[in-house]
Amino acid sequence: MNTKTDSQENINSNPENGPQPGKVRVAIVGVGLIGGSMALALTGSKMAGKVVGVDSNQIHADTALQLKLVEEILPLEEAVMQSDVVILAVPVNIAERLLPVIMNLVSKQVVLDVGSTKSAICVLAQSGKSPGRFVATHPMWGTEFSGPGAAVRGAFQGKAVVICDGEKSDADAVATVESIYGFLGMHIIYMNSSAHDIHAAYISHISHISSFALANTVLEKEKEDDKIFELASGGFESTVRLAKSNIETWVPVFRQNKENVLDVLNEHIAQLRKFKSCLEKDNFEYLGELIQNANKISRILK
């Protein structure tokens, strides 16, 4: 795994590498949380000359225009043909359906996706037309909200983005994508798509499953005691907030990354059983050791 800082903005130092800064025409397919936040950063910026959107949800399209996230909403083919860079920011199952369509339209355009799973789409990209024009990426940021109204200004600043299987992409395409993420203030991590999906299962996908499960646990209890939520405090809210995440986003992620998620889930269940056993056997000494060991996460999360 290699990293580069956001200072590596080598796009456009040579005109052959792509469009000049301030003249990059960007099409964002799916103007929701991620796509909308990227649009918010790029529209009217020194990086992009024009940012257009594509969205099959008319309410989302209208909202994106009202919020001035994009300059106009266009049909997919027209948006791709008019753009230098196409950002595919839709749920991973929809991305798989749209990618072949987009790749059949591109010649010199750069296409990147922002999905939470990478193996399947990387394989798909290699089987289509102009595979070198595709760059697989995963910006490591998100919230429990969705839609263009959830877009956040400065969302990506200081966060990590993963570029997967970059050696299969054209050098100028990778350079263009590096420049865009550098402009967004992200630092870049390079890894293969299989490794990405394993790591994502550990640090993202299991967190969502745990949050969904905890929410269901409390909702089940709430059927018996309607005052339980009166006691909910900041700790509960921060732990369970991911349970508000969009079903259309997360069911396809779990489906695509099923085997890795199952491996992590089995380990998580084993850890929960240790805590359960300690309480059943009044083994509070070992319970303390489990908590103390968990405290080591502070070395990573500061």
Residue 201 CB neighbours (<10 A): 25
Domain boundary among 191, 209, 237: 191
Give yes or no: residues 89 and 132 share one domain: yes
Question: Are both 47 and 175 inside the same structural domain?
Answer: yes
64 with 160, same domain: the answer is: yes
Amino acid 163: pLDDT? 98
Q: Print pLDDT tens along the chain (302 aa).
A: 444 433 333 333 333 455 566 789 999 999 999 999 999 999 988 899 999 999 999 999 999 999 999 999 999 999 999 999 999 999 999 999 999 999 999 999 999 999 999 999 999 999 988 999 999 999 999 999 999 999 999 999 999 999 999 999 999 999 999 999 999 999 999 999 999 999 999 999 999 999 999 999 988 877 776 677 677 666 788 889 999 999 999 999 999 999 999 999 999 999 999 999 999 999 999 999 999 999 999 987 76
Phi, psi of 131 (to 5 degrees): -60, -25
Q: What is the pTM of this model?
A: 0.88
DSSP reduced 3-state for 260: helix
Residues 39 and 154 in one domain: yes
CATH number at residue 159: 3.40.50.720
What pLDDT, on a 0 to 100 scale, did the predictor assign at position 233? Answer: 67
d(CA 138, CA 110): 16
Instruction: Say whether 50 sits in a helix, a strand or coil.
Output: strand
**Rounded CA separation 191/180 (Å):** 18
For 230, the domain range is 196-299
What's the confidence (pLDDT) of residue 95? 98
Query: What pLDDT score was predicted for residue 232?
Result: 67
What pLDDT, in 10s, does the model give residues 244-260? Answer: 999 999 999 999 999 99
141 and 15 in a common domain: yes
Residue 50 neighbours by CB distance under 10 Å? 18
Neighbours of 32 (CB within 10 A): 27
pLDDT at 29: 98
The residue written with tokens 């921060």 in the block is 238
Find out whether 124 and 98 touch, Cβ atoms under 8 Å: no
